[in-house]
């Protein structure tokens, strides 16, 4: 059960990057593409890789208006997810795939108890499951209602869906598991526009990842006060691959020498719409010693994101969180994203880097001393704010 919760946290965790309102010069596109690589040396010893396409425009990821209207009529729904991960909740086998409708526990419970939760969650789930099955060409049947409390703080639960201290209830529907490569072909035909599929970029990396043994696929609809957020995600776990993190090669798990952005962005200046995120949870105190790209030290103007480079959201000795932004570049070679890590001396230091030397491999020696900035990690609201103006098509 711990494993399934751990993996579900990875599947559901968002990869959105906190965009800054730069003014008229920073344009908008309705799609965000993200790659996330999590090196979890501290708990699972595994590396988790995922590729996510996300949008608030249901003309990009095709979600029927009728389904969205039903979802919006229930304020207690937090999100809906389809995944072929297996073991999505207790009692579901590894040979099954799930559609889960997840509720805020307090609101779905009302003044009642556990029986009220089960009754109400199943009633709402039964109202929605036909629409979800039709959208995804599935035939999932009711399995159970699963109730859980909040409070998880491990790296795998880095999900804006699971607020610490809050409880949830999931109406779970299951069917026999399908292979990810087959699902990828079927689902992309059903819910991704031809324009996205023809534009390459991270979509092609997702296709490659879906062909790997053990990969999983997810379709997620989150609820928000203004409008929902839609995600299409492919993930994989590489077991026992986080033993040695002295050299981090984020794209080494994909059979590519160069990562290209989607051609959807070629006529726009949208430097925040393509992000490679690397999260490292080391077993021992660790720091970044060397990178091969520029370091972005602040995000306060258009100029800050015009040049490709890494921005560090967390430089804690027990959690490194870095995001690569493309700036005006349309691609990056795999070797440019390589990092070298080393041990961190935590004596007489606070939790985060203050002023640390990161060697930048391909820059002038006079430019090798970089001060890293620390900011709060991204949240769902940031992506929704950045994409505001893209509304559902009625």
pLDDT in tens, 15-45: 344 333 333 344 556 799 999 999 999 999 9
Q: Any idea which of 138-147, 167-176, 239-248, 262-271 has the lowest mean pLDDT?
A: 262-271
Q: Which domain holds residue 161?
A: 2-12+55-198+212-234+380-386
Whether residue 29 is contained in a domain is answered as no
Whether residue 63 is contained in a domain is answered as yes
Q: Across-strand partners of 49?
A: 37, 236
Please give the tally of structural domains in the chain. Answer: 1
Would you mind telling me the total number of residues written for the chain in this entry? 394
Q: Mean per-residue pLDDT for 294-314?
A: 85
Please check the confidence at residue 377 and state whether its pLDDT lies above 70: no
Whether residue 106 is contained in a domain is answered as yes
User: pLDDT (tens digit, 9 = 90+) per residue, 327-361?
Assistant: 999 999 999 999 999 998 776 555 554 324 555 65
H or E element: which one contains 174?
Answer: strand 168-176
**HSE (side-chain half, CA atoms, 13 Å) at 234:** 26
Q: For a pLDDT cut of 90, what percent of the chain falls above it?
A: 56
Whether residue 219 is contained in a domain is answered as yes
Please check the confidence at residue 152 and state whether its pLDDT lies above 70: no
Separation of alpha carbons 157 and 136, rounded Å: 26
Q: What is the pLDDT at residue 160? A: 35
Beta pairing class for 286-291 and 339-343: antiparallel
Q: What is the pLDDT at residue 386? A: 37
Whether residue 46 is contained in a domain is answered as no
Separation of alpha carbons 74 and 124, rounded Å: 8
CB 286 within 8 A of CB 280: yes
Whether residue 177 is contained in a domain is answered as yes
pLDDT-based confidence at 225, cuts 50/70/90?
A: low
CB 54 within 8 A of CB 380: no
And the tokens for 158? 């880095």
Please check the confidence at residue 311 and state whether its pLDDT lies above 50: yes
Please check the confidence at residue 217 and state whether its pLDDT lies above 90: yes
Whether residue 8 is contained in a domain is answered as yes
pTM of the predicted model as reported, rounded to 2 decimal places: 0.82
And the tokens for 146? 């699963």
User: pLDDT (tens digit, 9 = 90+) per residue, 1-12?
Assistant: 444 444 445 444
User: pLDDT (tens digit, 9 = 90+) per residue, 226-268?
Assistant: 778 999 999 999 999 999 999 999 999 998 999 999 999 988 8
Whether residue 153 is contained in a domain is answered as yes
Please check the confidence at residue 364 and state whether its pLDDT lies above 50: no
Q: For a pLDDT cut of 70, what percent of the chain falls above it?
A: 76
Higher pLDDT, 377 or 163: 163
């Amino acid at each position: 059960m711990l494993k399934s919760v751990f993996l579900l946290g990875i599947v559901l965790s968002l990869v959105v990057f906190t965009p800054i309102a730069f003014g008229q010069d920073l344009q908008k596109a309705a799609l965000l593409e993200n790659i996330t690589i999590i090196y979890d040396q501290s708990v699972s010893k595994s590396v988790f890789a995922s590729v996510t396409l996300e949008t608030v425009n249901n003309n990009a990821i095709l979600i029927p208006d009728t389904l969205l209207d039903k979802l919006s009529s229930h304020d207690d729904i937090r999100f809906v997810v389809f995944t072929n991960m297996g073991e999505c909740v207790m009692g579901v086998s590894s040979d099954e795939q799930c559609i889960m409708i997840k509720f805020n526990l307090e609101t779905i419970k009302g003044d009642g108890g556990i029986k009220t939760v089960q009754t109400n969650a199943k009633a709402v789930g039964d109202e929605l499951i036909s629409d979800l099955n039709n959208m995804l060409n599935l035939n999932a049947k009711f399995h159970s209602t699963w109730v859980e409390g909040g409070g998880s703080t491990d790296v795998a639960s880095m999900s804006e869906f699971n607020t610490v201290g809050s409880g949830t209830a999931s109406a779970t529907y299951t069917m026999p598991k399908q292979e990810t490569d087959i699902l990828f072909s079927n689902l992309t035909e059903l819910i991704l526009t031809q324009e996205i599929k023809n534009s390459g970029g991270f979509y092609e990396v997702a296709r490659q990842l879906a062909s790997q043994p053990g990969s999983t696929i997810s379709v997620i609809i989150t609820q928000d006060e203004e409008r929902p957020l839609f995600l299409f995600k492919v993930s994989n776990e590489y077991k026992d691959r986080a033993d040695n993190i002295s050299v981090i090669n984020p794209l080494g798990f994909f059979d590519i020498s160069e990562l290209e952005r989607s051609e959807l962005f070629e006529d726009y200046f949208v430097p925040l719409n393509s992000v490679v995120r690397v999260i490292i949870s080391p077993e021992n105190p660790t720091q970044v010693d060397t990178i091969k790209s520029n370091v972005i030290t602040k995000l306060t103007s258009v100029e800050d994101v015009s040049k490709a480079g890494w921005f560090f959201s967390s430089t804690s000795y027990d959690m490194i969180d870095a995001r690569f932004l493309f700036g005006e570049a349309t691609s990056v070679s795999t070797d440019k994203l390589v990092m070298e890590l080393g041990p961190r001396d935590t004596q007489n230091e606070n939790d985060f880097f203050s002023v640390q030397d990161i060697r930048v491999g391909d820059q002038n020696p006079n430019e090798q001393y970089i001060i890293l900035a620390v900011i709060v990690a991204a949240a769902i609201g940031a992506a929704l704010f950045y994409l505001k103006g893209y509304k559902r098509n009625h």
